[in-house]
Chain A
Amino acid sequence: MAKHQSSPQSASSQGANSQDANHTLEPFFVLHKAQPQATVVEKVSKSRKGRKKRIESSPKSPEKSKRTTSDEQPSNTLYEQWRFKAFNEIWSLIQSSIEGVLRDINLKLFNEVLQWIEDSFSEIKSNVKLSSSEILQPYPLLADTLCRKIPTAFVLTKNAEFVDDIQTFCDLGSHLKANRCHVANMSALDFSLKFGIGGSVRSLLRQLHSEPLDGKIADMLTLAKWYCEEENNDKPIVVMIDDMECCNADVLGNFITMLSEWVMKIPIFFIMGVATTIEAPKNMLPSDALQHLNPCKLTLGTPSDRMNSLVESVLVEVCYCFSLGHEVSVFLRNYFLRHDGTITSFISALKLACSKHFSLESVSFLGLYMLDQDSEERWSEKFVYLPESMKRCVLNLHSCKSEKNLQGGVGSIVQQLSDLKASQRFWSSVVLCLFEVARYSKMQFLDIFCEATDPKMYCMNGSENSLKKHFRCGDKNSTARSSSGVGSITRVIHTIREMPVAALSNLLDKWNNHTEEMTEINEEVKKLQSVLASVDEGKVYEENLHNIRNRKSVSFISGKGNSANEKVAMLLDAMIRKYMKPLECMTLHEIICFRDVDVLQSGLIGDPRKTIQLDLLKCHSYLSCSCCSSDAKNLSPSMHDTSIMYKLAQEFGDVINLYEWYQSFKTVLTSSSQTSRKKGRPSPASKKAKPLPPSETEALIQARFCGAVTELQISGLLRMPTKRRPNFIQRIAFGL
């Protein structure tokens, strides 16, 4: 077998030099050391032609490949750096917005936790006062066992996936640290059977000590010594375990019991994340550990609440420099709802979308100036220095092709960009107004967002009365449509018609803030506010809300149409029609809008199980050789060996008879013509031709067969024969 080592990889030798060949059997090696920063991206982007279309499910437009010529290499690097800078700035903006939103949502809980710790801590301090020599005594204090209870907060995360809560617990940790607490953030890995309780204590000490342990023994006495140091004393120690149910129950139980021995000397608090119910600790922990806990229950917000806030602050409020196209929005919505429902996966998908946008869209760096107050000046300055080729890139964007005005030059492009910016501001204001209603009726913001980005909707709204028609249509089917997310805006308007006056008045107050930039609408809002105020003054609205609601709906049905609710609904209708122009309907939207849903999907969800099988079954589409037939069913000897073998394997059931498989493979390889034949079972001729003398050809075929089986085994598509059944190979993957 050693012979293989020296044989160079013929096809793969392009990238590999002789040094690499020596490295193939080393477990690891340093390929090269870092070179100075100046050469970072110099050697990239050679050719963007040929098969690239196949590599990416949604390739760049042909214009983009045209403009990459060799003389533009250095400037390409420069634009890439600009784009990277733009990504960094915009993503840090989005990220800080995300962090802010999540922190705000959890702040109430954080303060609750802090209050609970402070109360318990002061209680402990008032009961027990110990000197450091007493604390350092290695034996427990003689005290009532009832006192040996560790205050424990079980935080119900309401989330089957704890991945979202990792960040929450980190934030909680920093919040507590900022408020005079020692914090150790531990996870299930610290409570594994492998390392036992020693591992847990070591991890606890490692987190509390700012310096490494330096060979100190990790035990409670070390912790006590550390706590006796002046700067550490007089603060509670909070041990947080984010996913308590994933911990090993015995290790955690022992840990609790051990800490409880010291709780009189060192004030320890537990905060444990519980994903299921409050009963979980009872079911999981041994009773002797459980009796040392003094439990308290706290609850986190639901993922859908968090999602609403994220959509509002990230997708709508910070949408001037990077936004999502309709298809991408719908994909992300489905990804959130159907994939795993975690905020973390949504955020990572958003980040990938953002990086793909700046990586693939050559003029995306222009989006960065959307953030500036003096965007127009910045664009004008930028365009002066941009070479003709880059200006052409802007003009070649798909949305510019129909726009004749743009041919006028830099001024018109800058004008269009400012229009884009203004339109986005209006769009987000209207969407925020819609969200205010959705908040009242507890609708999902993401549904509304998807609908608001739909360019088809806008085109439909363009014609006279069509919006109304749409809404009327929505009225009838609103319940049917609500589940699919279609008609969310219709439902929002419907909600307004049924809102009680008090809520309506609140709504208008909020709209007043959101519509400040749309003077015309803002005036209308103010008028409606005064109308509502006069109604309030004229009639004493002491009646319960139910009555009001009934009366309003009666007036709506009776067709009067001039009630305050109807007016507000009409105003929203007008706002949508005039100002809610989806980004994709705007010229130059490509600069800030990411629309490539296929690219995002393939980057996010690999699905190797399906794809690797497809690679084998459709290898011709990748290799596009002239020797093999493009018809997937035809097998020719020139085809890739493993591909032939895998296609043949499709004919078998759960198990493959090695002899038959080999004979079929041999027949394919030895058949000179490409005639289609019955696969799977060896032809009688080949069976008869069995006693071939072991020749070079036979050895070659057997070698090919062995190689292909090994490759299929590496891909995980086969299970090798076992002692009990040496003549059969088991198939593992079935269907795509």
Chain B
Amino acid sequence: MAPKRKKVEVEEEEARAQVEVEEEDEEEEELAFSRNYFLAKEVGSASGKRSAARKVSEINLVDDQLLRASLSELPTKHEKEIGSLLESYKGLYSNWLFELRCGFGLLMYGFGSKKALLEDFASSTLTSYTVVVINGYLASVNLKQVMTTIAEILWEHYKCKAKTSTGKKQQTQLPNGLKSVDDIVTFIVDISDDCNCSVCLLIHNIDGPALRDPDSQQHLARVSCCSCICLVASIDHVNAPLLWDKKMVYTQFKWSWHHVPTFVPYKVEGLFNPLILFSSGHVQTTKTALVVLQSLTPNAQSVFRVLAEFQLANEKEEGMHVSELYTKCREQFLVSSQVTLNAHLTEFKDHKLVKMRRHSDGQDCLHIPLPTNALEKLLQELV
């Protein structure tokens, strides 16, 4: 068990931090050398004082629930000014549309959430386009599903056109016969010339977590240069342009950059980011939980599933009693004895997948520290 656990921990860490921790010290040294002398001195002196550096725990942290509640109720500063800033961009909508029609892709950047702005632009100006919105800020975006939807939209138009033009055979196969994203994208590219419809892909955060990988960007780039598809996208990360090579920028996406700072809070975009002052330390996320679970035995996964399904079905309950879990698991032949279940539970608790709580009736109960939607997603991905 021990070596396995070690392996799991390493994987968990990778997923959680996304940055190699082991290289950190080297990195720090490099920084000290590579930056100028004075800055190096400053870092040196800072590290000298580090033993006396104040800790986060010294901040009088409030309860998680209270923190979340306050965050959701935060009044937006400068609401009026932000409103008039957004209003002022409406004057540019016609220019943006002009550029889209000229064959450019619109790339919006600048500080602040651009979600509302772009959707307003799409719903008020892009009326002649079928607009497909991708919420790239969500890690759950599945590009295959998106591409399938686009293919279906195009296919519908293509079929209509093929029916009207008598001589033309339907040469391409149906979208549901397509297997990989690559196939679907190729299908879209093939039929796009013969479609007389206009589809606009509106991508919030094309630099988002699910779209950041080179493959997704390649697929998007290939789709964006289809004659009947245009692209409106937003970026928020300062290094987002590094996602694209010259071929993508000049011949596929054909970006026209627009600086549109909105200063609207990133409420939806930051929804799944762990809060920095979360008192319980590291927050379990779907991704980290998935990494851990996938490395466990199928039986352990099933035990977790029983607990998770209970929690989803009884959202108002504080948790599931251990004895109840044991009964259910035994019924399903997942565990043979309490000892086996305890072994699984220890594993879960070690990886912070499950927390022990004292129920109001005095008994210990088990609780998964994940929000409902994250839990649902986790179960979907665990299949």
- Is the C-beta of B93 less than 8 angstroms from some C-beta in chain A? yes
B91/A48 in contact, CB under 8 A: yes
Complexed CA–CA distance, A476 and B283 (Å)? 72
Proximity bits, B91-114, A CB within 8 Å = 1, else 0: 111110111011110010111110
CB-defined contacts of A345 to chain B, threshold 8 Å: 246, 250
- Is the C-beta of A657 less than 8 angstroms from some C-beta in chain B? yes
Give the segment of B56-64, B336-344, B347-355 that binds chain A: B56-64
Sampled A-B contacts (19; CB under 8 Å): A1-B371, A11-B82, A25-B271, A31-B122, A34-B128, A45-B91, A50-B84, A55-B260, A80-B98, A352-B256, A359-B95, A608-B238, A609-B238, A624-B81, A694-B61, A702-B62, A724-B24, A729-B276, A733-B238
B175 to chain A, nearest CB (A): 12
Complexed CA–CA distance, A20 and B202 (Å)? 13
B54/A659 in contact, CB under 8 A: yes
CB-defined contacts of B173 to chain A, threshold 8 Å: 212, 214
Complexed CA–CA distance, A148 and B103 (Å)? 46
Give the segment of A36-44, A365-373, A387-395, A452-460 that binds chain B: A36-44
A694/B66 in contact, CB under 8 A: yes
B132/A28 in contact, CB under 8 A: yes
Give the segment of A300-308, A539-547, A710-718 that binds chain B: A710-718
Q: From DSSP, what is the main secondary structure of chain B's interface residues?
A: mixed
Report if A16-B91 is in contact (Cβ < 8 Å); known contacts: A602-B257, A733-B238.
Answer: no
Complexed CA–CA distance, A603 and B258 (Å)? 6
- B42, B90, B240: which has the most chain A beta carbons within 10 Å? B90
- Is the C-beta of B172 less than 8 angstroms from some C-beta in chain A? yes
- B81, B120, B123, B131: which has the most chain A beta carbons within 10 Å? B81
- Is the C-beta of A536 less than 8 angstroms from some C-beta in chain B? no
Give the segment of A286-294, A325-333, A404-412, A610-618 that binds chain B: A610-618
Give the segment of A259-267, A313-321, A633-641 that binds chain B: A633-641
Give the segment of A2-10, A118-126, A560-568 that binds chain B: A2-10
- List the 10 closest pairs (A to B, CB-CB), nearest first: A15-B120, A12-B116, A659-B54, A606-B257, A44-B94, A703-B70, A51-B88, A615-B111, A716-B237, A31-B131
CB-defined contacts of B202 to chain A, threshold 8 Å: 31
B133 to chain A, nearest CB (A): 5
Complexed CA–CA distance, A715 and B133 (Å)? 21
A713/B83 in contact, CB under 8 A: no
Q: Using CB atoms, name the residue of chain B closest to A354.
A: B102
Complexed CA–CA distance, A355 and B127 (Å)? 21
- Is the C-beta of B164 less than 8 angstroms from some C-beta in chain A? no
- Is the C-beta of A623 less than 8 angstroms from some C-beta in chain B? yes
Q: Using CB atoms, name the residue of chain B closest to A660.
A: B54
CB-defined contacts of B128 to chain A, threshold 8 Å: 34-37, 39-40
- A625, A699, A729: which has the most chain B beta carbons within 10 Å? A699
A654/B102 in contact, CB under 8 A: no
- Is the C-beta of A146 less than 8 angstroms from some C-beta in chain B? no
B256/A4 in contact, CB under 8 A: no
| Extra inter-chain contacts (18) besides given A26-B135, A658-B59, CB under 8 Å | A3-B72, A5-B271, A9-B115, A27-B138, A34-B130, A43-B127, A44-B94, A55-B89, A84-B102, A166-B247, A355-B256, A619-B263, A625-B78, A705-B277, A707-B265, A711-B266, A720-B276, A722-B17
Proximity bits, B170-189, A CB within 8 Å = 1, else 0: 01110001000000001000
B21/A722 in contact, CB under 8 A: yes
CB-defined contacts of A84 to chain B, threshold 8 Å: 98, 101-102
- Is the C-beta of A163 less than 8 angstroms from some C-beta in chain B? yes
Report if A640-B94 is in contact (Cβ < 8 Å); known contacts: A4-B71, A23-B133, A658-B56.
Answer: no
Give the segment of B140-148, B292-300, B302-310, B320-328 that binds chain A: B140-148
Complexed CA–CA distance, A24 and B141 (Å)? 12
A4/B271 in contact, CB under 8 A: yes
A500 to chain B, nearest CB (A): 42
Report if A28-B145 is in contact (Cβ < 8 Å); known contacts: A10-B76, A44-B93, A639-B77.
Answer: yes
Residues of B in contact with A (beta carbons under 8 Å apart)? 13, 17, 19, 21, 24, 28, 31, 35, 39, 42-43, 46, 53-56, 58-63, 66-79, 81-95, 97-99, 101-104, 107, 109-113, 115-117, 119-125, 127-135, 138, 140-142, 145-146, 149, 153, 171-173, 177, 186, 190, 197-199, 202, 210, 215, 218, 235-241, 245-247, 250-251, 254-278, 281-282, 371-374
CB-defined contacts of B256 to chain A, threshold 8 Å: 352, 355, 603
Q: Using CB atoms, name the residue of chain B closest to A345.
A: B250
The A238-262 residues at the B interface (CB cut-off 8 A) are none
A7/B73 in contact, CB under 8 A: yes
B270/A355 in contact, CB under 8 A: no
Q: Using CB atoms, name the residue of chain B closest to A625.
A: B81
Complexed CA–CA distance, A279 and B130 (Å)? 50
- Which one, A42, A659, A662, A699, contacts B70 given CB within 8 A? A699
CB-defined contacts of B97 to chain A, threshold 8 Å: 41, 44
Report if A611-B72 is in contact (Cβ < 8 Å); known contacts: A31-B202, A32-B130, A211-B171.
Answer: no
- A12, A14, A711: which has the most chain B beta carbons within 10 Å? A12
CB-defined contacts of B140 to chain A, threshold 8 Å: 27
Report if A704-B74 is in contact (Cβ < 8 Å); known contacts: A642-B111, A714-B236.
Answer: yes
A25/B270 in contact, CB under 8 A: no
- Is the C-beta of A138 less than 8 angstroms from some C-beta in chain B? no
Complexed CA–CA distance, A716 and B121 (Å)? 26
- Is the C-beta of A427 less than 8 angstroms from some C-beta in chain B? no
CB-defined contacts of B186 to chain A, threshold 8 Å: 206
CB-defined contacts of A66 to chain B, threshold 8 Å: none
- Which one, B124, B131, B141, contacts A30 given CB within 8 A? B131
- Which one, B116, B177, B272, contacts A9 given CB within 8 A? B116
- Which one, A9, A355, A705, contacts B264 given CB within 8 A? A9
Proximity bits, A327-370, B CB within 8 Å = 1, else 0: 00000000000001010110010011001101110000000000
A163/B246 in contact, CB under 8 A: yes
A703/B91 in contact, CB under 8 A: no
- Is the C-beta of A692 less than 8 angstroms from some C-beta in chain B? yes
Proximity bits, A590-623, B CB within 8 Å = 1, else 0: 0000000000001111101101110110010011
A702/B130 in contact, CB under 8 A: no
A641/B116 in contact, CB under 8 A: no
A646 to chain B, nearest CB (A): 9
CB-defined contacts of B43 to chain A, threshold 8 Å: 653-655
CB-defined contacts of B58 to chain A, threshold 8 Å: 659, 690
CB-defined contacts of B70 to chain A, threshold 8 Å: 696, 699-700, 702-703
Complexed CA–CA distance, A11 and B171 (Å)? 50
- Is the C-beta of A13 less than 8 angstroms from some C-beta in chain B? yes
- Which one, A12, A23, A40, A351, contacts B86 given CB within 8 A? A12
B60/A7 in contact, CB under 8 A: no
B314 to chain A, nearest CB (A): 16
B42/A653 in contact, CB under 8 A: yes
B93/A45 in contact, CB under 8 A: yes
CB-defined contacts of A7 to chain B, threshold 8 Å: 72-73, 267
Report if A27-B135 is in contact (Cβ < 8 Å); known contacts: A14-B86, A166-B247, A615-B261.
Answer: yes
Complexed CA–CA distance, A317 and B58 (Å)? 72
- Which one, B62, B79, B270, contacts A699 given CB within 8 A? B62
B97 to chain A, nearest CB (A): 6
- Is the C-beta of A725 less than 8 angstroms from some C-beta in chain B? yes
- Which one, A340, A360, A624, contacts B95 given CB within 8 A? A360
Complexed CA–CA distance, A84 and B97 (Å)? 11
- Which one, A49, A611, A709, A734, contacts B276 given CB within 8 A? A709
CB-defined contacts of A716 to chain B, threshold 8 Å: 236-240
Complexed CA–CA distance, A11 and B270 (Å)? 16
A619 to chain B, nearest CB (A): 6
Complexed CA–CA distance, A178 and B122 (Å)? 43
Complexed CA–CA distance, A625 and B72 (Å)? 24
- Which one, B13, B63, B71, contacts A707 given CB within 8 A? B71
- Which one, B153, B177, B250, B266, contacts A710 given CB within 8 A? B266
Complexed CA–CA distance, A355 and B372 (Å)? 48
- Is the C-beta of A678 less than 8 angstroms from some C-beta in chain B? no
Complexed CA–CA distance, A12 and B93 (Å)? 17
B67/A723 in contact, CB under 8 A: no
